[in-house]
């Protein structure tokens, strides 16, 4: 079902309580989802603080311009009607909440909209529930997050061939000197244009002395009607710099300024990131020691575990649990019973199939352990109690009570259990091992306690640590060099940003208005400086991969975002971070057209936006989908579909996939 309305954040500037001077809309509207079960539209948003003069509030627009008044259902059962306002620029009608007029600050208060909870709107025959969450951000913090988001977007766009470039062959960062030189040439030519800008004389009418008059029609009327006038209306001229050539130059400089500003921000951010990374890695390096702290709680926990395992009762309980799990049946028969003490060795197996059927054992007689009749002694489960084989373990002493029959032959004695009355563990190598470890652990704890719970690293641990230290210092050197180059670019570009802004302000003082229209004028052929500005601007866009006019326009629109939906901002910030991790961390390459797709995801309220990435070296391909609509109708924020091919699949015929 499609909604007949849209909801946006809007900021309204009031002249008085009934007169609006300006309405500013958020870039995108709130995402609406229809709940088939409740038959109600739903959306989520966050309240925003009223600081720094920014008073964003929810506004509802009925798409078919119906005059039926929408309202809010209050928890008391009453309703609160919304009030219409008209955007004088677009003619759109927005419905808002008006609580009371704040005369001092010149705005209508709307406390209901800025309260966390659920708002129930009734809009003609449709209902919408808006879930409003609380937010602990101040306006300044919100501005920081928004600015960071915009910078990250520009960085992704510029980083392919920016002033600071990744060098694929050395896995390092290079400096695009040609781009810096391009900026220098642009400013040099612009300064020359400013020295002698093209000017046209525009004809006007002005008062002049009688003898200097160049008459117009009005002059003769004045001569007839006003005799002996010392000054008469005359034809005159004034210089005008607002010509098409200058308008285009101003446009090119303003565009270049935005790009240069972002290059400065990008290089400055990278320099700071690399500096922080160097500090972090050095701290890790300094933290290395030939001793290591031991967690006292872990030692105590290990001691308690070993102490428990050193008790025969622990192993008896485990053995009883195994007997229950394998449903071993005991027979309460008291005649013809034998009490047998055995110590299991290894498993006895059938020669041809290697199938286990029992244990080699020793018998305890006359206070010693040994083989029966000095022959190979076996406890067999081939015919009876086969499941008992799963319960007994090698190198364990057992006491067995029941009907046990020995079968003696030339080379061996085989015991078979006919009926079992009782079986228990007397001793096991595992308990003995646990007892030995317990004594070691106790001594270790004593030594650690004396040394402040520190222990010396072992030789192999020291060798491994040296390898880590070497790898860390290599990374420190790598980031140091990258930081040095990023700082170099920042120092080269940041002053140019101020220079070009100074030129732009000077051109504006000449009443020149920017225009994107490139004039078909001989000035750009004959004047080297006008031509130089145009060529440098074009080259700047090419070297920053912004030759596409649409991409640049979209980025400028994103830059103008003021009112934001915080959850939406966070979603799209996450999208940028996912792309950056895949690109920088896992060396995936973004496929052609990705910039348009990313701009679509950031700027427009669209769904199912796909961005394709590939790492051909590892034969892995990713489709990252933003707001993907699943077969179930659900729409997760991000879905990553991975496709890969095995090394042996030379022609990539048999793909593997995972979501």
Q: Which residue's entry shows tokens 């939406």? A: 568
CA-based diameter of the chain, in Å? 158
Please name which of 584, 560, 496, 610 lies closest in space to residue 156, comparing C-alpha atoms.
Answer: 584
- For helices 549-559 and 244-286, the axis angle rounded to 10 degrees is 70
Look at the alpha carbons of 571, 573, 574, 579 in this order and tell me if their dihedral is positive or negative. Answer: positive
Q: Which residue's entry shows tokens 């008459």? A: 215
Q: Two tokens at 107?
A: 């705005």
What lies within 8 Å, CB to CB, of 298 at 6+ separation is: none
DSSP 276-338: HHHHHHHHHHHT--SEEE--HHHHHHHHHHHHHHTSHHHHHHHHHHHHHHTTPPP----SS-E
pTM of the model: 0.54
Q: How many CA atoms lie within 13 Å of 335's alpha carbon, on the beta-carbon side?
A: 0
Q: How many CA atoms lie within 13 Å of 393's alpha carbon, on the beta-carbon side?
A: 17
- For 142, 149, 173, 272, 473, the CA distances from 577, given in Å and listed in that order, are 18, 10, 20, 18, 27
SS (H, E, C) 419-434: EEEEEEEEEEHHHHHH
| Residues 300-334: b if buried by 16+ CB within 10 A, e if exposed | eebbeebeebbeeebbeebbeebbeeeebeeeeee
pLDDT at 168 over 60: no
Q: What pLDDT is recorded for position 415? A: 93
* SS3 state of residue 339: strand
pLDDT band at residue 563, thresholds of 50, 70 and 90?
very low
Q: Two tokens at 610?
A: 């796909």
- Name the strand (E) or helix (H) holding 435: helix 429-450
Q: How many CA atoms lie within 13 Å of 11's alpha carbon, on the beta-carbon side?
A: 17
pLDDT at 330 over 70: yes
Q: How many CA atoms lie within 13 Å of 314's alpha carbon, on the beta-carbon side?
A: 14
Give the DSSP letter of residue 374: G
Give the DSSP letter of residue 226: S
Proportion of the chain above pLDDT 70, given as a percent: 86
The domain limits of the chain are 5-136, 200-240, 309-435, 565-658
Proportion of the chain above pLDDT 90, given as a percent: 26
Mean pLDDT estimate for the chain: 82
Tell me if 624 sits within 8 A of 638, measured CB to CB. yes
Residues making up the chain, counted from first to last:
659
Q: Select the more confidently predicted residue: 437 or 637.
A: 437
Tell me if 570 sits within 8 A of 135, measured CB to CB. no
pLDDT in tens, 475-501: 899 889 888 888 888 888 889 989 999
pLDDT at 134 over 60: no
Q: Select the more confidently predicted residue: 273 or 282.
A: 282
Please tell me the distance from the alpha carbon of residue 222 to that of residue 231, in angstroms, as a whole number.
Answer: 10
The CATH architecture annotation of domain 309-435 reads: Beta Barrel (2.40)
Q: What pLDDT is recorded for position 320? A: 93
Q: What pLDDT is recorded for position 52? A: 45
- Residue ranges in 102-229 assigned as alpha helix (H): 139-158, 177-195, 217-225
Range with top average pLDDT, 29-33, 110-114, 355-359, 607-611: 355-359
pLDDT in tens, 515-544: 988 888 888 888 999 999 999 988 888 887
Q: Select the more confidently predicted residue: 575 or 154.
A: 575
pLDDT band at residue 252, thresholds of 50, 70 and 90?
very high
Tell me if 216 sits within 8 A of 241, measured CB to CB. no
Long-range contacts, 403-412 (Cβ 8 Å, 24+): 403/333, 403/336, 403/337, 403/338, 404/338, 404/340, 406/372, 408/372, 408/373, 408/375, 411/375, 411/376, 412/375, 412/376, 412/377, 412/378
Please tell me the distance from the alpha carbon of residue 26 to that of residue 11, in angstroms, as a whole number.
Answer: 8
pLDDT in tens, 45-82: 766 544 445 567 888 888 887 778 888 887 667 788 88
Q: What is the pLDDT averaged over residues 263-268?
A: 84
Q: Select the more confidently predicted residue: 209 or 564.
A: 209
pLDDT in tens, 281-290: 999 999 888 8
Please tell me the distance from the alpha carbon of residue 420 to that of residue 323, in angstroms, as a whole number.
Answer: 12
Q: Select the more confidently predicted residue: 461 or 211.
A: 461
pLDDT band at residue 361, thresholds of 50, 70 and 90?
very high
């Amino acid at each position: 079902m499609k909604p007949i309305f849209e909801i946006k954040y809007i900021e309204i500037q009031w002249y008085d309580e009934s007169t609006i001077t300006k309405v500013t809309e958020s870039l995108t509207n709130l995402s609406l989802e229809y709940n088939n079960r409740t038959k109600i539209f739903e959306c989520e948003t966050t309240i925003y603080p009223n600081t720094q003069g920014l008073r964003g509030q929810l506004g509802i627009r009925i798409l078919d311009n119906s005059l039926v008044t929408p309202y809010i259902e209050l928890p008391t059962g009453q309703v609160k009607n919304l009030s219409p306002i008209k955007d004088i620029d677009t003619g759109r009608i927005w419905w808002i909440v008006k609580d009371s007029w704040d005369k001092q600050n010149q705005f209508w208060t709307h406390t209901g909209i800025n309260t966390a909870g659920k708002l129930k709107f009734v809009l003609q025959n449709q209902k919408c529930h808006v879930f409003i969450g609380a937010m602990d951000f101040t306006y300044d913090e919100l501005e920081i997050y928004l600015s960071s988001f915009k910078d990250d977007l520009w960085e992704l766009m510029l980083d392919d061939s920016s002033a600071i470039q990744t060098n694929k062959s050395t896995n390092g960062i290079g400096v695009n000197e040609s781009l810096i030189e391009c900026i220098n040439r642009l400013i040099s030519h612009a300064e020359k244009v400013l020295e002698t800008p093209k000017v046209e004389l525009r004809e006007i009418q002005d008062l002049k002395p009688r003898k200097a008059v160049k008459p117009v029609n009005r002059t003769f009327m004045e001569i007839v009607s006003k005799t002996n006038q010392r000054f008469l209306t005359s034809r005159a001229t004034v210089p005008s710099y607002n010509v098409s050539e200058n308008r285009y130059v101003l446009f090119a400089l303003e565009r270049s300024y935005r790009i240069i500003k972002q290059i400065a921000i990008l290089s400055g951010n990278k320099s700071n990131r690399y500096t922080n990374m160097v500090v972090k890695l050095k701290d890790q390096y300094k933290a290395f020691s030939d001793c290591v702290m031991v967690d006292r709680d872990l030692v105590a926990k290990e001691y308690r575990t070993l102490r428990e395992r050193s008790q025969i009762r622990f192993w008896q309980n485990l053995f009883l649990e195994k007997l229950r799990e394998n449903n071993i049946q005991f027979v309460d028969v008291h005649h013809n019973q034998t009490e047998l003490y055995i110590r299991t060795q290894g498993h006895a197996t059938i020669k041809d199939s290697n199938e286990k059927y029992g244990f080699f054992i020793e018998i305890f007689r006359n206070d010693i352990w040994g083989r029966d009749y000095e022959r190979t002694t076996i406890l067999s489960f081939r015919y009876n109690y086969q499941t008992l084989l799963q319960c007994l373990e090698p190198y364990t002493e057992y006491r067995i009570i029941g009907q046990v029959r020995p079968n003696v032959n030339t080379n061996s004695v085989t015991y078979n259990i006919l009926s079992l009355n009782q079986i228990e563990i007397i001793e096991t190598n595992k308990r003995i091992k646990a007892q030995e470890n317990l004594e070691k652990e106790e001594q270790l704890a004593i030594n650690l306690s004396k040394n402040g719970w520190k222990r010396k690293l072992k030789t192999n641990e020291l060798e491994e640590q040296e390898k880590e230290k070497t790898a860390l210092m290599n990374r420190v050197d790598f980031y140091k060099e990258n930081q040095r180059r990023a700082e170099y670019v920042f120092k080269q570009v940041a002053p140019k940003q101020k220079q070009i802004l100074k030129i732009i302000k000077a051109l504006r003082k000449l009443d020149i208005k920017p225009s994107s229209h490139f004039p078909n004028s001989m000035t750009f052929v004959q004047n080297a400086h006008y031509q130089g500005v145009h060529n440098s601007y074009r080259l700047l866009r090419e070297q920053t991969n912004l030759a596409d006019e649409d991409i640049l326009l979209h980025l400028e629109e994103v830059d103008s975002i003021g009112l934001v939906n915080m959850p939406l901002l966070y979603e799209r910030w996450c999208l940028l971070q996912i792309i950056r991790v895949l690109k920088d961390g896992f060396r995936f390459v973004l496929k052609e057209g990705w910039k348009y797709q990313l701009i679509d995801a950031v700027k427009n309220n669209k769904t199912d936006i796909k961005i394709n990435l590939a790492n051909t070296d590892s034969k892995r391909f990713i489709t990252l989908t933003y707001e993907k609509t699943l077969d179930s109708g659900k729409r997760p924020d991000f879905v990553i579909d991975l496709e890969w091919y095995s090394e042996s699949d030379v022609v990539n015929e048999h793909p593997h996939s995972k979501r």
